[in-house]
């Protein structure tokens, strides 16, 4: 269950970043943080480095 939730959160964050890239003209890097903020999550969640 936890893995499924983690995967869904990651999908939502990536989808938001993709929209900001396409519609807002942001780079992927610049779009990731605001996308995570819109979900009220830390920017690093779902993107282990």
What pLDDT is stored for residue 42 in this prediction?
65
Q: What is the pLDDT along the chain (49 residues), one digit of tens a residue?
A: 888 988 998 899 999 999 999 999 999 999 998 988 888 876 565 554 4
- Say what the pLDDT of residue 6 is: 86
d(CA 3, CA 24) in angstroms, rounded, equals: 31
Q: Which pTM does this prediction carry?
A: 0.71
Q: Report the alpha-carbon distance of residue 15 to residue 36 in Å, rounded.
A: 10
Instruction: Kindly list the domain boundaries of the chain, sorted by start residue.
Output: 2-38
For 1-49, give the DSSP string. Answer: -HHHHHHHHHHHHHHHHHHHHHHH---HHHHHHHHHHHTT--TTTT---
pLDDT at 48: 47
Let me know: does 41 contact 10? Beta carbons within 8 Å: no
pLDDT at position 44, please? 60
């Amino acid at each position: 269950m936890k893995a499924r939730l983690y995967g869904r959160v990651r999908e939502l964050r990536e989808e938001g970043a993709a929209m900001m890239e396409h519609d807002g003209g942001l780079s992927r890097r610049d779009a990731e943080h605001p996308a995570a903020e819109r979900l009220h999550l830390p920017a690093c969640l779902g993107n282990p480095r």
